Amino acid sequence: MTDDTEPIWLRAERAATGRPAERSRAEITAAAIAVADRGGLEAVSMRNVADELGTGAASLYRYVNGRDDLLDLMVDATAAEPRLEPPTGDQVADLTAFAEELRATMVRHPWLPELVLTRPSLGPNAVAALDHVLDVLADHPGDGRAKLEIFALLNAVVATFALNERAAADRPEQAVAYLRHVAATGRRPRITALLEDLAAPDDRHRGDALTAILSGLLR
């Protein structure tokens, strides 16, 4: 019997003896991701995922300790999607390239930013990505703690951008509705000016902010 308090990555997938399992963790993860891609995070219920697989909901508990495990598996599965190019020597450029891969993954899976931000857990694929970032930062002075911090912040910043971008795209008026009301009161001139800037066309290209952040962090 495997310890239930261990992360799922350390629990044995199948038993050597007894009736063989009909499915694998990977299949279940893929089904969960399919459901999420189609209906968002809230659609990822045990019953929905089971339906996607054509099984009963209770069967999932043979592969996973609960819904949380499922979410962890989903996150780590997507962590395999970014292409990890060999370091070029330009640390900031390498990291922004990785960040762009991350962003593309999050566009492909709109439910991902929320999970990444809420659920800090490192699975095998996330460790591979971390290893890649450590590779890029090999020549960088500073201990592992600082580099781990950079990795965490890179993920968080990209996820935050992705989340905000999506919110602005899905409900454009809702996002600024209250700001507009505040501006209308005339009591906060700085907010009013801000709204005028938001109305202007966006000529900045994405990634500027991230480059600035990374430049600061790498000192």
| 17 near a second copy, judged by CB under 8 A | no
Residues in contact with 172: Cβ distance below 8 Å, sequence separation at least 6, in sequence order: none
- CA distances, 87 to each of 134, 139, 191 (Å): 10, 11, 43
| Least CB distance to a second copy at residue 65 (A) | 13
- Interface with a second copy includes 193 (CB under 8 A)? yes
- With 0-12 / 13-18 / 19 or more C-beta atoms within 10 angstroms meaning exposed / middle / buried, residue 201 is exposed
- Where does residue 157 rank: exposed (0-12), middle (13-18), buried (19+ CB within 10 A)? middle
Q: What, of DNA, a second copy, none, does residue 123 touch, CB below 5 to 8 Å by kind? A: a second copy
C-beta of 166: minimal distance to a second copy in Å? 10
With binding defined as CB under 8 A, does residue 188 bind a second copy?
Answer: yes
Residue 93 binds a second copy (CB under 8 A): no
Output the six-digit token pair for 70: 């499922």
170: partner contacted, choices DNA, a second copy, none (Cβ within 5-8 A by kind): none
Q: Which does 87 bind (CB under 5 to 8 A by kind): DNA, a second copy, none?
A: none
Residue 57: in which H helix or E strand, if any? none
Rounded to a whole number of angstroms, the minimum distance from the CB of residue 56 to DNA is 2
Q: Which positions from 122 through 151 interact with a second copy, judged by CB under 8 A?
A: 122-124, 127, 130-131, 134-135, 138, 143-149
